[in-house]
């Protein structure tokens, strides 16, 4: 999916919501467990209930890998089931030497047909560029994550220009691609930091996890992160997909997604995006 | 596998060789392609031909994922086929927020039965500790990698104590576990840096890729990296598994592995390890 197509979808749906399909076999409603592929069935019903409210889905590969080859099948079926006009992110946090990253690209861009993959920046340029060589596909680099461990290395101050490591990741890596094939992960728990981040990458899309269950605030994220093309994909996983553990899980997921979409529509209508 | 068991195997075999099973469907001998599971068949014959010469096998998950669910099956069968007394590393370079890293641990330690997994340090403590909570299992953290992109972030100088980022990774992360559940990846192309690394982590095992096809030198690695328990696992992938693309591929792989094992035996015999 191209940048323009993504922005068009955001304008049409008045939403920059990404639904995280962190579908855990130990957490999905019990009545699904007798089905042949409970995880796919769960995802299918979540997608059916929310696809008009969000512009992206983001399965996290760990949840599928934890089920072995069967989980990999569920992931592949889920990717195929996501409607064409929705941006498909595989949250896999991959990254390896150039020749090996190429194979990860093959896995998620050819074997499956995701639009984008999250990538860990630690191994540098050749671990990232193989994901940029596909027309209309994207690498989404971890910059500042929303977990407690983000403190350990991402915030370390560097010598030359007194920048933090995550700022070096932004300023160095943005030269490897452009705002049509790269995005960045920036945790919502650090919303005030979005201001500095926008100074470094004014036009790139940012994928923002941590709104909802992890405690981030949508208004703050928009205040500091929105740009003229929106430039944000805000992810919510658990708060939507586990809104209920009963028969009504999809309906409740829709309600949660709708609440977020309405708030987003309000934000977009007050902005220059629409 | 415990540290003691690994050291015992190194002494018995006079080897600290790890064979990297980077088994690429486009590179394995053509005569295998008609079989039902060519990748597993290739690995099986490589393992049969080399298991008395090495102490570890390291499949890289990218090669298997690039084949979809079928590749995942080949990986799982390969893990099961590796003999009990050999250390099993899944080179997956994973790492995510705590709850999600737990699922990667479930994937590789429970669904499969690897002894260890390579982990990217970027997301910090909670992305790593879930891999340390299994008796006899190990996290192998990326510190200094052997690729060109290692220059981008790993070598950046930090403010407080003028250390490089990879040195901060070593000094900070070693407190999360100990030398019985953590190892570090250090590329052989930077052998002289092993001296400084040994100052920070004198007793930890180091997994050294980049000997062979990537140009690293075994004598240099041993000179700067060997400790009293050996403390090294030196990996070779392409130089062994693709030594021949003909019917004799396993035999030629054995010859390459034997050459390395002999050199390692020479190194160990001159050291205090045996």
- Helix/strand/coil (H, E, C) string of B187-201? CHHHHHHHHHHHHHC
Rounded mean pLDDT of B104-110?
98
- Which residue of A69, A108, A173 is in closest CB contact with B72? A69
- Contact A37/B at CB under 8 A: no
Q: Do A159 and B162 touch (CB under 8 A)?
A: yes
Give contacts of A 247-266 with B, CB under 8 A.
none
User: Closest Cα to residue B154, out of A251, A254, A169?
Assistant: A169
Structural tokens at position B114: 């690897």
Q: Which of A62, A94, A103 minimises the CB distance to B63? A: A103
Judging contacts by C-beta atoms under 8 Å, the chain B residues touching residue A157 are: 158-160
Nearest-Cα distance to chain A for B243, in Å, is 18
Q: Model confidence at B161, in pLDDT bands (50, 70, 90)? A: confident
Residue B192: its pLDDT value, please? 81
Of B63, B122, B160, the CB nearest to A142: B122
Q: Residue A216 pLDDT > 70, yes or no?
A: no
DSSP one-letter code for B237: -
pLDDT given at position B216:
67
Decide if A156 and B154 are in contact by the 8 Å CB cutoff: no
Confidence of residue A189 (pLDDT cuts 50, 70, 90): confident
Residues of B designated catalytic: 93
The domains located in chain B, with CATH, are 3-269 (3.20.20.70)
B171 CB neighbour count, 10 Å cutoff: 14
| B155 close to A (CB below 8 A) | no
Residue ranges with strand state E in B193-253: 205-208, 232-236
- How is residue B106 annotated by DSSP? I
Question: Which one, of A109, A49, A118, A38, lies nearest residue A79 by Cα?
Answer: A109
DSSP 8-state secondary structure symbol assigned to residue A106: I
Contact list, A168 vs chain B (CB under 8 Å): 153, 156
- Rg (alpha carbons) of chain A, rounded to whole number: 18
pLDDT in tens, B225-249: 999 999 999 999 999 999 999 999 9
Please indicate whether, in this complex, the C-beta atoms of B160 and A157 are within 8 angstroms of each other: yes
Interface size A-B, in CB pairs within 8 Å, comes to 198
Question: Judging by beta carbons within 10 Å of its beta carbon (0-12, 13-18, 19+), is residue B85 exposed, middle or buried?
Answer: middle
Query: SS3 helix, strand, coil % of chain A, rounded to 5?
Result: 45, 20, 35
Nearest CA in chain A to B97: A147
At residue A214, the pLDDT reads 61
Range A251-268 average pLDDT? 97
pLDDT in tens, A149-169: 999 999 999 998 889 999 999
**ipTM of the predicted structure?**
0.96
* pLDDT digits 0-9 by tens, A97-138: 999 999 999 999 999 999 999 999 999 999 999 999 999 999
Cβ atoms of B18 and B55 within 8 Å: the answer is yes
CB within 8 Å: A162 and B158: no
pLDDT for A52-82, tens place per residue?
999 999 999 999 999 999 999 999 999 999 9
Q: Among A97, A122, A126, whose Cβ lies nearest the Cβ of B154? A: A122
How far is B50 from B18, CA to CA, in rounded Å?
10
Rounded CA-CA distance B245/B256 in Å is 14
Query: Which pLDDT score is estimated for B151?
Result: 95
What are B33-76's pLDDT values in tens digits?
A: 999 999 999 999 999 999 999 999 999 999 999 999 999 999 99
Over the stretch B118-143, which tens digit does the pLDDT of each residue have? 999 999 999 999 999 999 999 999 99
Q: Do B124 and A156 touch (CB under 8 A)?
A: no
- Give chain A positions within 8 Å (CB) of B173: 152
Q: Minimal CA–CA distance to A224: which of A180, A272, A249, A192?
A: A192
A139 has pLDDT over 70: yes
The residue in chain B having the minimum alpha-carbon distance to the alpha carbon of residue A105 is: B66
Chain B 182-201, CB below 8 Å of chain A: which residues? none
Assess contact for B218 and B211: CB atoms under 8 A: yes
Contact at CB, B103 and A66, closer than 8 angstroms = yes
Helix, strand, coil percent values for chain B (each to nearest 5) = 45, 20, 35
* Distance to chain A for B65, nearest Cα, Å: 5
Residues 6+ apart with CB under 8 A from B135: none
Strand spans (E) along chain B: 17-21, 56-59, 87-94, 116-119, 138-144, 182-186, 205-208, 232-236
Of A96, A98, A153, the CB nearest to B93: A96
Ramachandran sector of residue B263 (left: φ over 0; alpha: ψ -120 to 50; beta: rest):
alpha
Q: Does B153 touch chain A (CB under 8 A)?
A: yes
pLDDT in tens, B168-215: 999 999 999 999 999 999 988 778 889 999 999 999 999 999 886 666
**Residue of A27, A67, A100 best to disrupt the B interface, most CBs of B under 10 A:** A100
Residue A259: predicted pLDDT: 96
Polymer length in residues for chain B? 274
- Pairing verdict, β B138-144 and B232-236: unpaired
> A191 vs chain B: nearest CA distance in angstroms?
18
Residue B96: closest CA among chain A residues belongs to which residue? Answer: A93
Mind telling me how many Å the CA of B101 is from chain A's nearest CA?
Answer: 7
Interface of A with B in 207-226 (CB under 8 A): none
Distance of residue B127 Cα from the nearest chain A Cα, in angstroms: 7
From chain B, the residues in CB contact with A150 under 8 A are: 123-124
The alpha-carbon gap from B270 to the nearest alpha carbon of chain A, in Å, equals 34
Alpha helices of chain A — where are they, by DSSP H?
Answer: 3-13, 38-50, 61-65, 69-81, 98-105, 125-128, 150-153, 165-173, 194-200, 218-225, 238-241, 249-270
Note the pLDDT tens digit of each residue in B82-93.
999 999 999 999
Q: Residue B204 is encoded by which pair of tokens?
A: 């930890």
> Which tokens hold the place of B116?
């260890």
Which of A44, A93, A102, A164 is catalytic? The answer is: A93
Inspect the interface and report whether the beta carbons of A153 and B169 lie closer than 8 Å.
yes
The proportion of chain A whose per-residue pLDDT surpasses 70, expressed as a percent, equals 98
Q: At what angle do helices A38-50 and A69-81 cross, to 10 degrees?
A: 20
Interface of A with B in 98-137 (CB under 8 A): 98, 100-101, 103-104, 106-108, 110-112, 120-128
Task: Search chain A and give the residue with CA nearest B167.
Answer: A153
pLDDT at residue number B7: 98
Contacts of B3 (CB under 8 A, 6+ apart): B179, B180, B205, B229
């Amino acid at each position: 999916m191209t940048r323009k197509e993504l922005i068009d979808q955001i304008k049409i749906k008045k939403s920059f919501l990404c639904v995280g399909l962190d579908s855990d076999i130990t957490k999905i409603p019990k009545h699904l467990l007798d089905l042949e592929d409970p995880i796919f069935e769960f995802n299918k019903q979540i997608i059916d209930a929310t696809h008009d409210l969000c512009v992206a889905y983001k399965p996290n590969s760990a949840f599928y890998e934890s089920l072995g080859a069967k989980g990999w099948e569920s992931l592949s079926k889920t990717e195929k089931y996501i409607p064409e006009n929705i941006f498909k992110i595989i949250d896999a946090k991959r990254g390896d030497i150039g020749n090996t990253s190429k194979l990860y690209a093959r896995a998620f861009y050819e074997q499956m047909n995701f639009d984008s993959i999250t990538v860990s920046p630690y191994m540098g340029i050749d671990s990232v560029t193989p994901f940029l060589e596909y027309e209309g596909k994207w690498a989404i680099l971890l910059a500042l994550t929303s977990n407690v461990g983000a403190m350990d290395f991402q915030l370390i101050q560097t010598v030359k220009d007194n920048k933090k490591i995550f700022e070096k990741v932004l300023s160095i890596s943005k030269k490897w691609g452009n705002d049509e094939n790269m995005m960045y992960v920036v945790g919502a728990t650090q919303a005030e930091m979005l201001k500095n981040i926008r100074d470094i990458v004014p036009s790139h899309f940012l994928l923002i996890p941590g709104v909802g269950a992890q405690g981030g605030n949508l208004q703050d994220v928009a205040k500091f992160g929105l740009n003229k093309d929106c430039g944000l994909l805000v992810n919510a996983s658990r708060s939507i997909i586990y809104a209920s553990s009963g028969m009504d899980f999809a309906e409740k997921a829709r309600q949660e997604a709708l609440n977020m979409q309405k708030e987003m529509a309000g934000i977009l209508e007050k902005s220059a995006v629409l």
